[in-house]
Amino acid sequence: MTTDRIFVGGGGDGYGVAQDLLLGFGNRHGLIAGATGTGKTVTLQILAEGFSAAGVPVFLSDVKGDLSGLALPGSESAKLHGAFLKRAATIGLDLRYDGFPVTFWDIWGQQGHPVRTTVAEMGPLLLARMLELSEAQEGVLNIAFRIADDQGLPLLDFKDLTAMLQWVAENAKSIGTAWGHVSPASVGAIQRRLLVLENQGGAALFGEPALALSDLMLTDPATGKGRINILSAERLMNAPRLYASFLLWLLSELFEDLPEVGNPDKPKLVFFFDEAHLLFDGAPKALVDKVEQVARLIRSKGVGVYFITQNPADVPDAVLGQLGNRVQHALRAFTAKDQKDLRLAAQNYRPNPRFSTEEAIREVGTGEAVTSFLQEKGVPGMVERTLIRPPAASLGPIDPGTRAALIAASPLAGKYERQIDRDSAHEMLARRAEAAAAETARAEADVARRKPEASAERDYRNARRYDPTPRYEAPSRAPAPRRPSSREPDSIAETFAKSVARQLGTKSGQAIVRGILGTLFKSR
């Protein structure tokens, strides 16, 4: 048995040579495409199994709820066992069922360990994408992040962000000279989008303890298999921007934090991005350019990224050009646009003189695909018609009881379940507001105390002015009573704005540096 490759499928009657994904090129990224019902999920599963068996950790999202079966071996009593045996015989595979070490994750902590990040780690760019903000609104969000960074106000959870935006709205005029104009209308629009996100349950994503990337890169000590991290995404798919932004954040964190490894014998981690079209739908060119940059550079960190989508046209050409390992299931060409997309999909492969790639993509059935994998020296392989191998693990979802037992037995059980609420921007701004209010109250009380003295002095002067009887008074050396200032004490906004202005020059050298996609880029 070879250990430097993953057997994907093969030959037999009517098919080409056996197709393997070389582990040494597993970090050169990949694409799994095809219409609904053509077998993309099974292909994703057998690739995840192959990487795990080779000791490579895997991260994938379960958008339909049927990938949890990876935790259990397939069964000879399963409905498809007979078909799998026949397919295995056709491609020359000795079919053996096996389960894999799995870690379940869920933003809401219901179907797996809670997975969180902080607002600061998400960054203004990805948060603006999540909230679908305009350019002006994104600028205001950047100002809020900059002030928080400069003033040492940690943005950890959802209430920190809302408190910071509230402060920005209340002090829009006083901060304009230092950071630029802030429109109250823009702040209000952001607050409304945050309310929508909160109603969708998105606030649960932000908080501590935040996800440690090292927990995604574990191997099972007993078997040496890489753990397969499965994000429950059935509910998450109801908020597509939240789903896409979270996965993009995770990808950018891997890019910023992992060290350079050059060309490893096998990937350090493989990341499957299902429903990839959600990442690019409506995305501004600047964001697409940054995604392309991350895809181009992250392979040197030993991370392979595999996009799963219905049509290769869903992925921009700049990103598509980075995907060296490709599995194309059937595309249905019912319209003129479909036919154009089919022709373009066929042009992305190195042609095979034995058949027409375009016809093959149209004709392959369920469980079949047109494939091309990188060969020695990274050369794209000639396109082949391939019968995809059967999976070793169980197909379909596991029952809730089994899932709960696996979560309880996980090496990460108990680490993320209890949320921590640290002292952060919300609490700090509240204390500053209380202190400023107390100072204002003391100043007002002092003014009120001095008013009777001032009134008595005025009465005395008025009486002397109209008294006709001359009187002799020795000059007094006592100082005249101090007249109260007519200026009102500083407001809360002015107090904090002055503090900001004083520290503006000293904080620039301490500003937090952010990476390509706006996430924090600093030692943790």
pLDDT tens digits, one per residue of 489-523: 444 444 444 444 444 433 444 456 777 787 765 54
Q: Residue 519: what pLDDT?
A: 78
Structure confidence at residue 362 as a pLDDT band (50, 70, 90): very high
pTM of the model: 0.86
Lowest-pLDDT range of 37-51, 197-211, 357-371, 433-447: 433-447
Give the mean model confidence (pLDDT) for residues 471-482: 50
In this structure, how many other beta carbons lie within 10 angstroms of the beta carbon of residue 209? Answer: 15
Q: How far apart are CA 239 and CA 201, in angstroms?
A: 9
Domain ranges in the chain are 26-115+211-408
CB 232 within 8 A of CB 112: yes
Q: Classify domain 26-115+211-408 at the CATH superfamily level.
A: P-loop containing nucleotide triphosphate hydrolases (3.40.50.300)
Residue 64, amino acid? K
Per-residue tokens: 228: 């397969």
430: pLDDT strictly greater than 90: yes
Mean pLDDT value of segment 394-404: 96
The secondary element (H helix, E strand) that includes residue 189 is: helix 184-199
**Distance of alpha carbon 319 from alpha carbon 291, whole angstroms:** 8
Cα torsion for 461, 466, 470, 472, to the nearest 10°?
0
**Phi and psi, residue 457, nearest 5°:** -60, -45
Calculate mean pLDDT across residues 63-74: 94
Q: What confidence tens digit (pLDDT) does each residue in 256-281 have? A: 999 999 889 999 999 999 999 999 98
Residue 48 to residue 26: CA distance in whole angstroms: 11
Q: Which residue did the predictor score with more confidence, 488 or 232?
A: 232
pLDDT for 235 equals 93
